């Protein structure tokens, strides 16, 4: 994915950091230098810890996909989050649902463990205090030891990741859950079109969140001022672009299934051992023995992509 730095492998999955990710800790360091070097390094450490949770989130997706026989090519960390590139997407609705919810489920487990740590330390918090921690520490929480503040910040961030990722913004986790539920009662292409349309609306709200937030704040809370969060708008743009790309891919896949086979099958090159990822599978699947991508149509291999 562009120019990325390889960190290593976990469970046989390559871990990468995109070069743009390095801008984030550098920016955090620069912004917090006015409070002293120690505070700046502390803030950078918190950001890296948050992305450690993001990495575990993506591993949740990858390992659940592996359970269903779907490999993961790599996991890449970006300034706006992480991306696990699966070798293919399952066309079985309930498999896609479990793969999608596995990531947020990891964040729920992390939040539960961190809550246990705070409870053991005698720290009792209200929901309002935890939510406010995402933006700034209240004066009473600043009296906590630095490591308890860090645990509290990671706890609230993981809860935020759960809520944010479950937004019905295809192809985010919530959007995939929505598509999977729809695909269980209708054609997959139609389900994808509906999920992508809803996802487009949510993505546009994220892109223009200051305007939307100001309107809602004025009508309901009489507070028209909403701070602009560039990262939220960037996530909205990313969701908008990737969602439309995946919709186009599903449309193309549906068209190819209906088109007549006009190329020679590749079965003779592999013998009878070549089996589709699943019955009547159509799409591209990686063959680790031959190290090639094979295009399948209705469960029949039709071409090789080297």
Instruction: Answer whether the bond into residue 130 is a cis peptide, omega within 30°.
Output: no
Q: What is the pLDDT of residues 154-167, one digit of tens each?
A: 998 999 899 999 99
> pTM of the prediction?
0.77
pLDDT value for 278:
77
Mean pLDDT of 9-38: 90
What single string gives the DSSP state of each residue in 67-102? Answer: HTT--EEEEEEETTEEEEEESS---SHHHHHHHHHH
pLDDT at 90: 87
Region of poorest pLDDT, from 1-5, 188-192, 242-246: 1-5
CB 46 within 8 A of CB 150: yes
Quickly state the pLDDT bin for 193 (edges 50, 70, 90).
very high
Both tokens of 40, joined, read: 């700046």
Q: What is the mean pLDDT of residues 88-102?
A: 93
Q: Round the average pLDDT of the chain to a whole number and report it.
A: 82
Measured distance CA(293)–CA(284) in Å, rounded: 6
Q: State the DSSP H helix or E strand holding residue 18, giving kind and residue range, or none if neither.
A: strand 13-18
Q: What is the pLDDT of residues 113-153, one digit of tens each?
A: 998 988 888 877 766 666 556 555 555 555 667 788 888 88
pLDDT of residue 66: 95
Tokens 């054609």 belong to residue: 187
Q: State the Cα–Cα distance between residues 101 and 88, nearest whole angstrom.
A: 17
Specify the pLDDT at position 248. Answer: 85
pLDDT of amino acid 301: 77
Q: Residue 174: pLDDT band by 50, 70, 90 thresholds?
A: very high
Residue 292 vs residue 306, higher pLDDT: 292
Angle between helices 230-258 and 188-207 (to 10 degrees): 160
Handedness of CA 216, 168, 227, 36 (dihedral sign): positive
- CA–CA gap between residue 282 and residue 290 (Å, rounded): 19
Q: Give the DSSP per-residue string, 206-259.
A: HHTHHHHHHHHIIIIIS-------HHHHHHHHHHHHHHHHHHHHHHHHHHHHHS
Strands 72-78 and 13-18 come out as parallel
- Reply yes or no on whether the pLDDT at 14 is more than 90: yes
pLDDT at 62 (0 to 100): 96
pLDDT-derived band of residue 262, with 50, 70 and 90 as boundaries? very low
Q: What is the percent of the chain where pLDDT is above 90? A: 39
Residue 259 has pLDDT above 70, yes or no: no
Q: pLDDT by residue (tens digit) across 39-76? A: 889 889 999 999 999 999 999 999 999 999 999 999 99
CA 147 – CA 302 distance, rounded (Å)? 57
Euclidean distance between CA atoms 298 and 302, whole angstroms: 10
Token reading at 155:
């706890």
């Amino acid at each position: 994915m562009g120019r990325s730095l390889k960190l290593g492998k976990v469970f046989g999955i390559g871990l990468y950091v995109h070069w743009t990710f390095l801008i984030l800790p550098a920016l955090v360091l620069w912004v917090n230098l006015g409070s002293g070097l120690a505070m700046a390094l502390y803030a950078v450490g918190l950001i890296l810890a948050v992305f450690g949770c993001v990495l575990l989130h993506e591993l949740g997706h990858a390992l659940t996909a592996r359970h269903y026989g779907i490999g993961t090519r790599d996991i890449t960390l970006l300034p706006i989050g992480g991306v696990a590139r699966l070798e293919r997407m399952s066309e079985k609705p309930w498999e896609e649902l479990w793969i999608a919810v596995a990531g947020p489920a990891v964040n729920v487990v992390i939040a539960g463990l961190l809550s246990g740590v705070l409870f053991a330390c005698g720290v009792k918090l209200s929901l309002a205090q935890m939510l406010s921690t995402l933006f700034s520490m209240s004066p009473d929480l600043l009296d906590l030891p630095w490591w308890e503040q860090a645990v509290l910040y990671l706890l609230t961030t993981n809860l935020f990741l759960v809520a944010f990722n479950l937004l019905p913004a295809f192809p985010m986790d919530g959007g995939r859950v929505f598509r999977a539920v729809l695909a269980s009662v209708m054609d997959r292409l139609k389900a994808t079109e509906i999920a992508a349309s809803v996802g487009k609306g949510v993505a546009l709200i994220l892109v223009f969140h200051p305007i939307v937030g100001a309107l809602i704040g004025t009508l309901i809370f009489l507070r028209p001022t909403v701070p602009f969060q560039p990262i939220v708008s960037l996530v909205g743009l990313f969701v908008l672009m990737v969602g439309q790309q995946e919709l186009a891919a599903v449309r193309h896949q549906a068209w190819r299934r209906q088109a007549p086979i006009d190329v020679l099958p590749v079965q003779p090159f592999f013998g009878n051992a070549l089996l589709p990822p699943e019955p009547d599978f159509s799409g591209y699947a990686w063959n680790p023995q031959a190290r090639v991508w094979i295009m399948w149509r209705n469960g029949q291999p039709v071409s090789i992509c080297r």
